[in-house]
Amino acid sequence: MSSPSTRTAPALDLHGRTALVTGAAGGIGRACTLRLAAAGARVRAVDRDATGLAELVDCAGRALGTAGGGAVEPYVLDLTDLDAAERAAAGTDVLVNNAGLQLVRPIEEFPPAVFHTVLTVMLEAPFRLIRGALPHMYAQGWGRIVNVSSVHGLRASAYKSAYVAAKHGLEGLSKTAALEGAPHGVTSNCVNPGYVRTPLVEKQLADQARAHGIPEERVLSEVLLTDSAVKRLVEPEEVAEAVAYLCAPQASFVTGTSLVLDGGWTAH
């Protein structure tokens, strides 16, 4: 019998599995797509950005080479088409709800139409995707749902009413899916990063500067990272590794929880 010091954790092997990742053309979604494909999964890369998806497929082809097993299949889809989103999830073994959008405005200035769109893409679409994926997962007695939430699923920030509301709702949806899925071998968890080095965060700088009345160059240190003990952005690949862990054999007992990568933000 091997000692604890010499035991090796089982590697993530998703050969023969189909994964679906939303918001796959860039940032966290791109990193998750490449990580799951590297583990052998056939990944449905969902995004409305056809050009970004084509670049992702090209990158995946170079990265995967002739290793076999893993592949990336582009799937152009606007998640506001909820019926199409549910259909896209049919037959998936691993579902990563990642797509998101952001607008920084005081509540009294927040456009109701944008609030509606944010909730549709970031909460209602994940519900429909989960709904579409569960029949297959239940039938085979195995499935992994990973919802890319945020520290804003656990903490609020001013001027982000739609984003915070969507992420808090996603936390509740994820826990409900965990309770219902447990008897069927399906886990559901959230991954909660702080600010990640993505185009979504970069686009916030001007909005945050305007909302707080400070120059853009001061936003990163004085607004975005003020509550983080680790004063840097999270890298997309770090989030992808957390997602991969939740799909691995050693995480089969982890469900209904939130894996926080916030640099100590919520330790306050």
| Catalytic site positions | 163
- Which long-range contacts (C-beta less than 8 Å, at least 24 apart) are formed by 56-63? 56/24, 56/25, 56/30, 59/34, 60/33, 60/34, 63/34, 63/37, 63/38
CB 122 within 8 A of CB 156: no
- Strands (DSSP E) found in the chain: 18-22, 42-47, 71-76, 94-97, 143-148, 186-193, 258-261
Please report which residue ranges of 125-253 form alpha helices under DSSP H: 125-140, 161-181, 199-202, 204-212, 219, 236-247
Residues 6+ apart with CB under 8 A from 240: 28, 31, 32, 34, 35
CB atoms within 10 A of CB 39: 21
Q: Which of 230, 236, 29 is nearest to 121 (CA)?
A: 29
Nearest to 179 by CA among 222, 224, 130, 228: 130
Residue 58, C-beta contacts closer than 8 angstroms, at least 6 positions apart: none
Nearest to 88 by CA among 136, 135, 142, 20: 20
